[in-house]
Amino acid sequence: MAGFPKKERQKLIDDYLIESGHNMFVPHEFVDWLGGQPDHIAYDWFYGMGDAETARQHRIQLARQLASGLRIVVQDTVTNDQVVSLNVKEYPTFISPVSLRKKGGGYQRFDPYNADSQAELRRQAATALASWLSRYRGCSENIGIDLSSLESITEELRGVDTEASISA
């Protein structure tokens, strides 16, 4: 929900739970409740466009899901002193470059041999891993899991020199 910062979203849900008397946030119940609250701060976010535009946006989301998760497999043969190795790597079939998203975006076919494609995928990997760390750090550290290796991987994917960041 780009229109509401995290703290405001938390307050919206907390206020809804208090006002509705529910003790669990169930999305379809919230949407139904919000439909009868035209003065609510979040009303326009959910009901501010007509049904035709809402349906179109939903269909666009379905089209995004259509491209999401598709994979390609790249096999390279490496020969060293009469030993042949098969190196198999898996990549997404399509990527959505972050720099193009504000302009309407789209999905580009991923080219594993293109430096720009690889750099974009690394940026997205670093963002996703940092998000995972942010979400699951507490429960992981609670049982004694050391996350420093994942932090190092995130920095390396972002292109941060880990040696320099440790000595700084």
**The tokens 């169930």 sit on which residue?**
26
DSSP 8-class letter at 34: H
Query: Is 143 strand, coil or helix?
Result: coil
pTM for the whole structure: 0.66
- pLDDT tens digit at each of 168 positions of the chain: 557 888 999 999 999 999 999 989 999 999 999 999 999 999 999 999 999 999 999 999 999 898 888 888 988 887 877 778 888 899 999 999 998 888 888 889 999 999 999 999 999 999 999 999 999 999 999 999 999 999 999 999 998 654 444 433
Q: At what angle do helices 115-142 and 148-158 cross, to 10 degrees?
A: 160
For the chain, what is the total number of helices (H) and then of strands (E)?
8, 4
